[in-house]
Structure 1
Amino acid sequence: MAAELAASENVELTPEHFEVLHLLRRFYQEFEVSPAMRPLTKYLKEHLGADKSSSIYLLKLFPGSPAKLAAKFAGLPRPENCL
């Protein structure tokens, strides 16, 4: 399902995408909310390190609005703070 959603946004999913998507789903299970950008980067930093949690890194993977697009691909609700 994630691959189909990504294809509709012209994104080809890689292992790096799935690494973020799995952690995003884990965040959702822990906190019962889809994270906006700042909580997402903080959570990713805890679990993946600084090099894979920066806004620039996430923008390369999920262009435009990383938190919103990643939540969509992960099958989660849109983060409340995302337009």
Structure 2
Amino acid sequence: MSTAIPDRDGDGYLTDMNAWTPDVARAMAEADEYDLTDEKWDHILKAREYYDEFNVVPPIRKFSKYLGADKKAMFELWLTGPMKPITKYGGLPKPTGCV
């Protein structure tokens, strides 16, 4: 049985952050035909940890430092500004500023 996807806004973000679960994230990615590799999944979980600790979505510079990851490699992995899909599939608020 597949996981029902809660309501999302026009950009694909959950309208209720509390509706997020790992299964919801996987269902969203599948619906969007987006592959969540283990490395991407790790970034999503770390972003959720960061948000739980600081109550804010970090800019990519700060987040790559938090991960100890190379920012350029993150852009190559995600094929876009990393914070947009990380926050989208992580059930977090939309990032602001440079992402």
TM-score w.r.t. length of structure 2: 0.66
The 5 Å alignment of 1:15-34 reads 15-34=38-57
Between the aligned residues of both structures, percent identity stands at 32
Q: Using the alignment, how far apart are the partners of 1:36 and 1:13 within structure 2?
A: 21
Letter in 2 for 1:32: N
1:35 paired to 2:63: no
1:62 paired to 2:78: yes
- List alignment gaps of at least 5 residues for structure 1: 46-52
Q: Using the alignment, how far apart are the partners of 2:72 and 2:26 within structure 1?
A: 22
Report how many aligned residue pairs link the two structures.
75
Is the contact made by 1:67 and 1:79 (CA closer than 8 Å) also made in structure 2?
yes
1:74 paired to 2:86: no
Match of 1:50 in 2: none
TM-score w.r.t. length of structure 1: 0.76
Is the contact made by 1:68 and 1:82 (CA closer than 8 Å) also made in structure 2?
no
Q: Secondary structure, in 3 states, of the residue corresponding to 2:92?
A: coil
CA RMSD of aligned residues (A): 1.7
Rg: which structure is higher?
Answer: 2
Letter in 1 for 2:27: E
